């Protein structure tokens, strides 16, 4: 039964509505997430989106799954707005490619935090062994606070 539930969760995450909601929840400037109205207005009135028109109501229907097949122009505009590949919204990426996009989103979210950004920037230019020592120290602090040694969405080495 658990496997079926896991599959249902994976299927739900693979829908356009789930991908849009993920972007709305994560890809925004510091502060409050974007509203449907804001995104629709930006796309409709922004020169960089061409002649694409998008209403708040239609965007709401896309996000709640009542509409699932927007035009390619709408998908391209939404992808451009959220700075993700259009294939992510279309569901054309492999699971590993989609996970990579979401990993980059999580990275950008983490970098919105001024303290996280300051720690990352201060480590630039330090020798690799010093960066490794800092990573160890941070992992020890996380362990003392009963957190996993690495955040669950931590990427691999060499992240830009």
What is d(CA 11, CA 89) in angstroms, rounded to the nearest whole number?
Answer: 14
What is d(CA 16, CA 14) in angstroms, rounded to the nearest whole number?
Answer: 7
pLDDT above 50 for 158: no
Q: Determine the pLDDT at residue 152.
A: 58
Alpha carbon dihedral 84, 19, 27, 79, in 10-degree steps, equals 30
- Give the global pTM: 0.70
Question: Of 36, 21, 33, which is closest to residue 112 (Cα–Cα)?
Answer: 33
pLDDT above 50 for 12: no
Phi, psi of 148 (to 5 degrees): -60, 150
Q: Which residue has the tokens 């950008």?
A: 108
Q: Which residue has the tokens 């020592």?
A: 133
- Asked if 36 and 64 count as a contact pair (C-beta separation under 8 A), the reply is no
Query: What is the average pLDDT across 30-45?
Result: 93
């Amino acid at each position: 039964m658990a496997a079926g539930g896991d599959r249902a969760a994976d299927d739900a995450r693979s829908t356009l509505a789930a991908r849009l909601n993920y972007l709305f929840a994560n890809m925004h400037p510091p502060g409050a997430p974007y509203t449907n109205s804001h995104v629709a207005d930006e796309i409709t009135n922004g020169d960089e989106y061409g002649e694409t028109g998008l209403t708040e109501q239609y965007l709401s229907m896309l996000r709640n799954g009542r509409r699932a097949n927007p035009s390619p122009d709408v998908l391209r505009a939404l992808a451009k707005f959220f700075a993700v590949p259009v294939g992510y919204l279309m569901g054309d990426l492999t699971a590993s490619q989609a996970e990579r996009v979401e990993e980059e989103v999580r990275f950008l979210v983490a970098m919105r935090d001024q303290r996280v950004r300051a720690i990352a920037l201060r480590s630039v230019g330090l020798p690799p062994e010093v960066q490794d020592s800092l990573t160890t120290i941070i992992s020890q602090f996380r362990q003392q606070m009963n957190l996993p040694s690495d955040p669950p969405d931590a990427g691999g080495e060499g992240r830009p």
